[in-house]
């Protein structure tokens, strides 16, 4: 008689126990999977509700992704990051240009679209986050504002950051973003920033233009971020 013939066959109760155990495992997996799926759906609904309650995306922007890069301080990453995963706000075209792997002192220059030479009112739209830095903005070499982009409430759009009335040559106008430190509350990697876009419109009224002309150099706050509980350090226009 062979070993196979001598080996006793599995008894029916033992096989039944194994069948019941396997069935129990499948049921447990189905229950866990259902609970996970339900949690994901609930989280998705919560995110959608938060996004629906957020301010609408700004309109009429020149998207940052459409501005050619002229130069950078070094080869750091600058790419179009979708903003659909940021439920606390809405960004134009559902994305922003994200500068990562940046260090203190890094800068990037973008070229503004051609237009008729003249004086224009410029508004900048950026992003705030827990690991973002302080960024100085210049137009054609003239400093227009310094913005603390740290946020203690998640990833948020800044809204309109007013750069004031700016004289544009119409061609080869350059906007520069330079990292100048970070908020004391910022998290690593500290010096990142995001750019949604820029709005170029008609200049401010003659009255506000006169007030801007009367301001002493270094005291104007045309580009300052309004008082915000997230902002630990004041942002001022250095003229």
Segment 96-124, tens digit of pLDDT: 999 999 999 999 999 999 999 999 999 99
CA 114 to CA 66: how far, in whole Å?
13
- For range 29-57, the mean pLDDT: 60
126-159, pLDDT tens digit by residue? 999 999 999 999 999 999 999 999 999 999 999 9
Rounded to the nearest 5°, which phi and psi values hold at 4?
-65, -40
Q: How confident is the model at residue 30 (pLDDT cuts 50, 70, 90)?
A: confident
Radius of gyration of the chain (CA): 28
């Amino acid at each position: 008689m062979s070993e196979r013939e001598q080996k006793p066959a599995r008894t029916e109760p033992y096989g039944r126990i194994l069948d019941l155990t396997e069935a129990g495992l499948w049921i447990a997996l189905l229950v866990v999977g259902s609970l996970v799926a339900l949690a994901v759906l609930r989280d998705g609904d919560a995110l959608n509700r938060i996004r629906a309650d957020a301010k609408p995306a700004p309109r009429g922007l020149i998207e940052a992704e459409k501005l050619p890069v002229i130069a950078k301080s070094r080869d750091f990453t600058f790419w179009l990051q979708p903003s659909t995963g940021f439920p606390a706000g809405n960004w134009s075209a559902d994305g922003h240009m994200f500068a990562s792997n940046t260090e203190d002192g890094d800068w990037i220059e973008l070229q503004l679209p051609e237009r008729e030479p003249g004086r224009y009112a410029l508004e900048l739209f950026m992003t705030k986050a827990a690991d973002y830095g302080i960024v100085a903005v210049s137009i054609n070499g003239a400093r227009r504002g310094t913005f603390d982009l740290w946020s203690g409430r998640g990833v948020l759009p800044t809204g309109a950051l007013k750069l004031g009335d700016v004289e544009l040559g119409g061609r080869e106008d350059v906007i520069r973003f330079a990292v100048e430190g970070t908020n004391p509350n910022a998290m690593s990697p500290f010096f990142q920033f995001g750019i949604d876009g820029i709005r170029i419109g008609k200049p401010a009224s003659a009255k506000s233009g006169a007030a801007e002309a009367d301001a002493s150099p270094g005291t104007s706050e045309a580009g300052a971020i309004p008082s915000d509980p997230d902002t630990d350090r004041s942002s001022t226009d250095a003229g």
